[in-house]
Structure 1
Amino acid sequence: MVNELLDVIRVDTKPDYTLHLTFENGEQRVFDMTPLMAKKPFDRLRDPECFAMAHIDYGTVVWPGNIDIAPETLYDRSDAIPVGEFKSFGPVGPKYQVCNPLRKMGDGDWIIEVMLIESGEKAEYRLSKIHQDPAAI
């Protein structure tokens, strides 16, 4: 739970009804809108073109038709993505950089794109594993 109210400064929508958010403290998080899409007023956002109209106003995400979500809800119910951090696959494994969230899995975990430092190759990796991996030294 956030102790201070943080403004959202950037939003990118994805076709799977997720919002990729950047907060004013630089933290990047991903918010899954799917559970809200059957509820009013969010049911009006099921049209992908309408959902993609999300933008920032007064520090939060808004859509046409006076639809918005409080920034504290976006923060508290989203998952932190350590974009840009350098990690190692386990204590002695290869180093990688955390890139972008790709999709949410059925079990609630996220698949994140990572880049292997030595080869530049990109791979997909679970967010739960990223949080367990040590910082690269």
Structure 2
Amino acid sequence: MPKSVEYYLSKGFDSKMAEYFASGRKKILSVQPKHDFSLLLSFDNGEKRIFDMKPFLKKDTVFEQFSNFDDFKRVYIDSDHCVCWDKNPQIDSETNWNNKVDLSPDVCYVESLPVTGQ
């Protein structure tokens, strides 16, 4: 049985996350990198949303490497429906987890904007 917004607020969630979890978690089905360093995400509820990666692509962060578009465009969706990049594309991130940089589908949904005119 789904829990209410009030339930999640009582557990310390902010209002955006409480509303998201109360409405049901979403899975990312596909990702498309855009030249403006945003991601076009397709979710299992039929929505397409834009996630702006520019605020994450800062120096001295795990995402710094992906400020190069050739690296950025190697984005993929893993078996947990997370948005991922492999730091070294020659290393299998399924066996070497330290090679993977990822974003949860929950954060991607809540912090993205719906594509208008779907």
The two structures have a TM-score, normalised by structure 2, of 0.66
Where does 1:25-104 land on structure 2 (aligned, <5 Å)? 25-38=45-58, 40-57=61-78, 58-65=80-87, 66-84=100-118
Q: Which has the larger radius of gyration?
A: 1
| Stretches of structure 1 lacking an aligned partner (at least 5 in a row) | 85-137
What is aligned with 1:22? 42
| Stretches of structure 2 lacking an aligned partner (at least 5 in a row) | 1-15, 88-99
* CA shift for structure 1 position 38: 0.3
What is aligned with 1:6? 26
Give the number of the structure whose residues are more often helix, by fraction: 2
> Secondary structure of 1:25's partner?
coil
The two structures have a TM-score, normalised by structure 1, of 0.58
Give the number of the structure whose residues are more often strand, by fraction: 1
Divergent runs of 4+, >3 A: none
| Cα root mean square deviation, aligned | 1.3
* CA shift for structure 1 position 83: 3.9
* CA shift for structure 1 position 82: 3.6
Percent identity at matched positions? 30
Distance 1:47 1:26 in 2: 30
Structure with higher RCO (Cα < 8 A, 6+ apart) = 2
